[in-house]
């Protein structure tokens, strides 16, 4: 069901298309063929699963199929024209492009075009000059507008409400899959449209796998239980991790937990507009290193969230580009010790000129279940 509590700001799409046209002009392109569905959604509002989008200096034309004929009318504003194709989107594309004058150099999204479709460009589309592009739309997506932020904040509040309802129901004797099912049911009941990724429930020594899937392992007293999950609202994702202990935590568990929590608090409070992704990552990494667990923090500090759960920018050792106001990123330090267990605490943080604002509010203190 469509959410009506947050009004759609239809004017956002013309603004985004204008920004893309500026980027096309800088790249010396006459048009862009957009094949990434999240990018199409960002530029037009269309949320269906089959579409191509052609953006030129003068117009944006979305090609989709008969199944979406009604939906596309509801979702698109006046800035995009629609073609409903009854056979294939690709044959419709050649007809459309053949009728457009002044378009020779067309960019395609090299990260979002299967080789079979690339072959179509070279064969049926041989009369145009195809140029690979990367991240033209993704770059625009990094900075969120007010309507996007509202969706992300709602996705966060849904996820946190679901977690609050789930925690009292988690106990020794349940399997990880059962816990995932309880959490996912509460996510749905709280209004999540989808799951941004398969809910991670990792217990005991499995919590040392940073991207474990929920399994049939039975929770035992003394286990760490790591829950990494999110909600989706208006197409926008949240991404949260909390780690709990079943029963009383040992001193060793508490020591590791407190280091991760302090790394989270330090980094989420320190990230600033203008800082590089590398410098943000270093805040948590240097602290964990100084505590003697540097080798046990093997992944990056965080990533952007939006229409996809992992999107630009990244907070990682190799990223030299600066962060901007309006970006929403995760901050998720962790310590993982094979055979023993792991802890990760992940929050979602908005960067603004006034400083970072942690959007997640679920307590970070160690919670014994
Ligand atoms: Zn996560
Ligand atoms: Zn994440």
In tens, the pLDDT along 265-294 reads 999 999 999 999 999 999 999 999 999 999
Exposure string of 40-77, with b = 16+ CB inside 10 Å and e = fewer, is bbbbbbbbbeebbbbbbeeebbbbbbeebeeebeebbe
> Would the pLDDT of 226 be above 90?
yes
Q: How far is the CA of 242 from the centre of ligand 1 (A)?
A: 9
User: Is 342 in contact with 226 (CB distance < 8 Å)?
Assistant: yes
Q: How far is the CA of 229 from the centre of ligand 2 (A)?
A: 9
Residues 130-142 have pLDDT tens digits of: 999 999 999 999 9
Q: 102 Cβ partners below 8 Å, 6+ apart?
A: 30
What whole-number distance in Å separates Cα of residue 255 and Cα of residue 351?
Answer: 30
Q: What is the dihedral of CA 87, 89, 90, 92, to 10 degrees?
A: 80
Instruction: Kindly report the pTM of this predicted structure.
Output: 0.94
The bound ligand whose nearest atom lies closest to the alpha carbon of 349 is: 2
Predicted pLDDT of residue 111: 97
Strands 328-331 and 347-352 turn out to be antiparallel
Q: What angle do CA 228, 267, 281 make, to 5 degrees?
A: 85
> Would the pLDDT of 210 be above 70?
yes
Residues 314-335 have pLDDT tens digits of: 999 999 999 999 999 999 999 9
Predicted pLDDT of residue 245: 98
3 state SS of 144: coil
Q: How far is the CA of 239 from the centre of ligand 1 (A)?
A: 5
User: Is 344 in contact with 260 (CB distance < 8 Å)?
Assistant: yes
What whole-number distance in Å separates Cα of residue 3 and Cα of residue 234?
Answer: 7
**DSSP state letters, 330-354:** EE--EEEETTTEEEE-BEEEEEETT
Domains of the chain with CATH codes? 13-140 (3.40.350.10), 146-368 (3.90.230.10)
The bound ligand whose nearest atom lies closest to the alpha carbon of 199 is: 1
Q: What secondary structure letter does DSSP report for 296?
A: G
3 state SS of 137: helix
Predicted pLDDT of residue 166: 98
Task: Give residue 9's pLDDT band: very low, low, confident or very high (50, 70, 90).
Answer: low
The bound ligand whose nearest atom lies closest to the alpha carbon of 300 is: 2
Residues 64-100 have pLDDT tens digits of: 999 999 999 999 989 999 999 999 999 999 999 999 9
Q: How far is the CA of 129 from the centre of ligand 1 (A)?
A: 40
Predicted pLDDT of residue 211: 86
Q: How far is the CA of 109 from the centre of ligand 1 (A)?
A: 27
Integer CA distances (angstroms), 34 to 44, 173, 289, in order? 11, 49, 42
User: Is 329 in contact with 237 (CB distance < 8 Å)?
Assistant: no
Q: How far is the CA of 248 from the centre of ligand 1 (A)?
A: 25
What whole-number distance in Å separates Cα of residue 227 and Cα of residue 327?
Answer: 24
Average pLDDT over residues 146-158: 97
Residues 12-62 have pLDDT tens digits of: 999 999 999 999 999 999 999 999 999 999 999 999 999 999 999 999 999
Q: How far is the CA of 228 from the centre of ligand 1 (A)?
A: 5
């Amino acid at each position: 069901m469509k959410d009506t509590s947050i009004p759609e700001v239809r004017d956002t799409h013309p603004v985004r298309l204008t920004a893309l046209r500026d980027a096309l002009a800088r790249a010396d392109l006459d048009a862009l063929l957009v094949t990434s569905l999240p990018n199409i959604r960002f530029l037009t509002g269309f949320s269906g699963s089959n579409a191509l989008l052609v953006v030129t200096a003068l117009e944006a034309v979305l090609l989709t199929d008969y199944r979406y004929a009604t939906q596309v009318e509801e979702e698109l504003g006046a800035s995009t024209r629609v073609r409903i194709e009854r056979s294939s989107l690709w044959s419709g594309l050649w007809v459309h492009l053949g009728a457009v004058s002044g378009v020779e150099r067309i960019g395609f999204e090299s990260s979002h075009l299967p080789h079979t479709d690339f072959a179509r460009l070279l064969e049926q589309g041989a009369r145009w000059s195809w140029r690979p592009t990367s991240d033209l739309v993704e770059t625009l997506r990094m900075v969120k507008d007010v309507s996007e932020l509202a969706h992300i904040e709602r996705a966060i509040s849904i996820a946190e409400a679901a977690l609050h309802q789930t925690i009292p129901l988690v106990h020794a004797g349940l399997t990880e899959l059962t816990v995932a099912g309880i959490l996912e049911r509460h996510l749905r009941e709280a209004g999540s449209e989808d799951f941004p990724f398969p809910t991670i429930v990792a217990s005991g020594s499995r919590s040392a796998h940073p991207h474990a899937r929920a399994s049939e392992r039975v929770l035992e007293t003394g286990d760490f239980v790591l829950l990494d999950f999110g909600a989706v609202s208006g197409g926008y994702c949240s991404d949260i991790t909390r780690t709990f202990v079943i029963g009383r935590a040992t001193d060793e568990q508490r020591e590791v937990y407190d280091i991760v929590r302090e790394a989270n608090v330090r980094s989420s409070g320190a990230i600033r507009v203008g800082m590089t992704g590398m410098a943000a990552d270093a805040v948590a990494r240097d602290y964990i290193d100084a505590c003697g667990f540097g080798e046990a923090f093997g992944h990056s500090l965080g990533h952007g969230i939006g229409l996809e759960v992992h999107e630009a920018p990244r907070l990682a050792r190799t990223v030299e580009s600066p962060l901007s106001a309006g970006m929403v990123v995760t901050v998720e330090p962790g310590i993982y010790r094979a055979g023993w267990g792991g802890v990760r605490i992940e929050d979602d943080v908005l960067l603004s000129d006034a400083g970072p604002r942690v959007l997640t509010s679920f307590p970070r203190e160690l919670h014994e279940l």
